[in-house]
Amino acid sequence: MNFRVGDGQSIALQSTLGGDAVLYLGFLAPPNALEHVQLMPATRQLVYLPDTGTPIVWQLRLTTAAPLGTVRVCGGVGGQIATSANTIGAEARSGSLDPGWSSVVDPTARGGRAARASGGTFVSWEVNMFGTPTMPRAGAYDVWYRVRVGSSAGHSPEMLLGVWDDQAPGSLGSNLYQPDQIGTAYLWVKVAAGIVPTPGHNVQFIAAFMGRLSTDWYIDSAVMVPSGSTAPL
């Protein structure tokens, strides 16, 4: 479950079954894992959001290892459920950057920085694997990337974008893209549709290239959402 909660406010959670959960917190960037918590059965528990002294809206996410039964959520003024679906997201700049990649300042990226793949000649795949290894819930998913290029003049496939299965190992769903399919301003691109993760396997996002790029590629972030969801905002 994903929530948007104002600065200094709180939400109350109460589940019929209780169980282990993980709280994630983010502001401009997708939420990062913050703390493991134990939700007690039929017990009202409060989650307080930081008070920075500036009016902002926090992104709060709650994930669970098993169903909690019925969950009741109460929030303050302006709080809202962002989505009730299982969504996985990550920023590309936080990944394992091979030599062809770097983290650069980019004011148009969501967190102010992006992962850049720059020109050069590489005889092996230059990979940026990013996102915490995560075991998705059962179901079909679409994968979206927020990406742009320095020049959209190129007409040949250059960049692979997709999702990686850590246990297979291999691509769970991916596509190769050419610069003229992307553009010089950020846009969300659906790189895989209707993929079904293998139960018990962790996944991560992968951006990779080999050889020489005709232009710089900037990868901002990626999300994995239930199949059929609209493009991210």
Question: What CATH number corresponds to the domain at position 121?
Answer: 2.60.120.260
Q: What is the model's pTM? A: 0.66
Question: Do 92 and 58 share a structural domain?
Answer: no
Give per-residue pLDDT as tens, 121-158: 787 899 999 988 888 888 899 999 999 999 999 899 99
Give per-residue pLDDT as tens, 59-82: 888 887 777 777 788 876 555 555
> Can you state the percent helix, strand and coil of the chain, rounding each to 5?
5, 55, 40
Of 83, 108, 123, the residue that ends a domain is 83
As given in the structure block, the two tokens for residue 156 are 């040949």
Q: Which domain holds residue 170?
A: 88-226
Does residue 53 form part of some domain? yes
Phi, psi at 169, each rounded to 5°: -85, 160
- Residue among 220, 214, 170, 158 nearest 195 (CA): 170
Question: Do 162 and 219 share a structural domain?
Answer: yes
Question: Do 136 and 48 share a structural domain?
Answer: no
Question: Do 156 and 122 share a structural domain?
Answer: yes
Query: Mean pLDDT over all residues of the chain?
Result: 86
DSSP state, residue 93: G
Question: Do 35 and 62 share a structural domain?
Answer: yes
Question: Do 55 and 162 share a structural domain?
Answer: no
Does residue 233 form part of some domain? no
* Domain count within the chain: 2
